[in-house]
Structure 1
Amino acid sequence: MSDAVIRAGWPGPPGVRAFTTLRHGAGFSQAPFDSFNLGNRYAADGDDPATVARNRAQLVDLAALPSAPHWLRQVHGTDVLQFDAPAVEEGEEPTADAAVTRTPGVVLAILTADCLPVVFAAKDGSEVAAAHAGWPGLSKGMLEATLAAMRTPAAALMAWIGPAAGPQRYEVGKDVFDVFVAHDADAAACFVPTRPDHWLADLPALARRRLVACGMASADVHGGDLCTISEPARFFSHRRDGRSGRIATLAWIQP
């Protein structure tokens, strides 16, 4: 399935699997969702639900997943769910922006189209988590909430930041700048001025600051170098395209 996914760029623990899907290489969706759109009815921006369901079924088969993913209804919040059993296919999608599991074979999934997908794993491979953190969730403490929901101490975790809006393309306004700098004055270093009251924001750098502040070692935070806005051939991007499909970042412990 190498044409349809990017494996996590980290020295992942033995038995832990993680990847992000690409927009092409699989799937059946038509433009502007072509072709491997995995967004649900809350995030698909108008794609045919039956086609999305077909894409999701293909994902399970092509990636040889141990079970169907636990899909979430993401709302840019800070709720984290614990999953102890595999998902039921076409089951209810609970509202949350992150999930945690210690059960082998339980597949976690996060949908994005510019927001940060962040995968966490205990270094001993005993626990994994996946979080969705756009700027609203990141500023509210989504990553901190995910770490708090894990049994593994932050110092014993590693993380991978998947494809997201990159620091060369993601322009934000004063509201975004102010909310991060109010929390951490030194976060201003993650913003580059472009025009009055506008900045290019480095979301991965902001995420790293928060993870390190929680006790993770900087060397254990990987990724953050893939820009969804800059690569239309590989990634969906809501900022770039308006109506857009969703890529998915998945993580699990191999049974």
Structure 2
Amino acid sequence: MAVTIAQLAEIEEEEEPRWGGSVVGHRTVPRDRFNGYRMLYADYFADEPVYGDDVFRRWFRMPKAMFIDICHGVAESIPYFQRTSNAAGLPGFSTIQKVTTAIRKLAYGGSADRLDKYIRMGESTILETVSKFTRTIVEKYGHIYLRQPNAQDIARLLHIAKEQGFPGMLGSIDCMHWEWEKCPTALHGQYRGHHKIPTIILEAVASADLWIWHTFFGNARVVQQYKRASPITCVRQHI
């Protein structure tokens, strides 16, 4: 791996781009993407990484094994997540750089270009990566994780809940406020309650194994009406 990184870095430093971009006047920023790859690899993926598995789980919100499985999965699904050469003939970003960018953006939010200094990736590429990542995840794993519970799932969930002292419960329901940063000014009154900023409410139902079976976004009034009309209401009665 070290030899490969050194070779790629040498190619980027010595080879001059054959053209300066397709847009007249466009300036290409030499971000040194391989330095970003070296830092990322040394921090988390080397044989003796700087940060251990406990730090990886806290910062990436998942175990390292799951992250690597996702990398393999998205790389097998579409060529975008495979390392390829760009229009100038230089190797592009690695799979772990793109997946790290997407997961960090989804997990922590914030402006897209704040990842530039560490991953060495521009804002437009970051936004493109997040879009392709989310679509690929839905296409690849949607039939497993974005489905309604079947008879076997319901029987298993009821059995687990009964053993925990909650007979008849499918899962635990909870709600939280998410800040709506781009809320139109005309809607501030509808989406601002005891919080001083506009928020929307996320309602979620999860089982004991942290499998999320139900999610719903809306304001407080819509969520209350939805609960009264939804079969999920029966879950709350057993909590």
TM bucket normalised to smaller: under 0.3
TM-score relative to the length of structure 2:
0.25
Q: Who wins on radius of gyration, i.e. which is larger?
A: 2
**Higher-strand-fraction structure:** 1
**Higher-helix-fraction structure:** 2
Which one scores higher on RCO, CA 8 angstroms, separation ≥ 6?
1
